[in-house]
Each structure stands twice: as structure tokens, then as C-alpha cells.
Amino acid sequence: MGFKRGAIYLANFNPSKGTEPGKIRPCLVIQSDLLNDANHPSTTVVPLTSQLIDNAAPLRFRIAARDELRRDSDVMIDQTRTIDNKRITSEPLTALTDKELTAVEEYLKIILDLTS
């Protein structure tokens, strides 16, 4: 089952180590749909948190609650990771708008030093 870039799913991030986010939490799929459609066995995601921090760009991007995402959440852009697809639920909670996904992509470029 392929996931969709820009969609938010629940994922199990346990066990965690050190500063890694743990527990079952929403995550944003940022991996290319070229891999998602090919049923790649793992997916690159960014975890979300409901522990909001204002003015934390480019480390965080705020998503308003909607659909099945029941609380306002921050996308923790500095916690990007690739996880096995078995950790991710099959149904999306919601999806980002094109404008929101573009903003997240810009923050990722900054965090990964891909701006030049």
C-alpha cells in the first residue's frame, strides 16, 4: 500500500532514543510519490507534535486541526526520518494544502542546506 506525499498518517515511533520523538503520533509523508507508488518498504516522514512552540521556523511548521487531525500541531522538521511502512496506519488523517506543503519544503531546504 503506497502512501501519499503531503498526507498525514498515524505512525508508531516507539521505541525512541535520546531526543527522538516517540509514541504513536501523526506524521507527514514527504517522500516522493515515485517511491510511494512503487510500494517502497519504507517511507520518509516528519513527525508532528501538539506541544506547540511559537515562532520556531524553520524547525517547525504549524498545521491547524482539521478532518481527523483533531489538534493544532507543529511539524517537527528537524526530526525527519525514514521508517518501515509497518509503523504507519493505512488511512490518512488529513493532507496539507499545496501552499502548506511548499512552506514545509522550503523549511526542509533550509534545515538540509539545500538552498544554494
For residue 1, what pLDDT is reported?
Answer: 57
Q: Which residue has the higher pLDDT, 15 or 47?
A: 47
The answer to whether residue 104 sits within a structural domain is yes
Query: Hunting for cell 516522514 — which residue is that?
Result: 45
The answer to whether residue 55 sits within a structural domain is yes
| 76-94: average pLDDT | 95
C-beta neighbour count of 77 within 10 angstroms: 24
With 70 as the cut, is the pLDDT of residue 100 above it? yes
Domain limits at 13? 7-111
The answer to whether residue 1 sits within a structural domain is no
The answer to whether residue 39 sits within a structural domain is yes
The answer to whether residue 116 sits within a structural domain is no
> Hey, which residues does 69 pair with through a beta bridge?
66
With 80 as the cut, is the pLDDT of residue 116 above it? no
- Give the contacts of 38 (CB within 8 A, at least 6 positions apart): 2
For residue 81, what pLDDT is reported?
Answer: 94
The answer to whether residue 88 sits within a structural domain is yes
Find the CATH number of the domain harbouring 98: 2.30.30.110
The answer to whether residue 2 sits within a structural domain is no
The answer to whether the CB of 4 falls within 8 A of the CB of 95 is: yes
Peptide bond into 21 cis (omega under 30): no
| Plot region of 23 (φ>0 → left; ψ -120 to 50 → alpha; else → beta) | left
Counting the structural domains of the chain, the total is 1
| 30-53: average pLDDT | 93
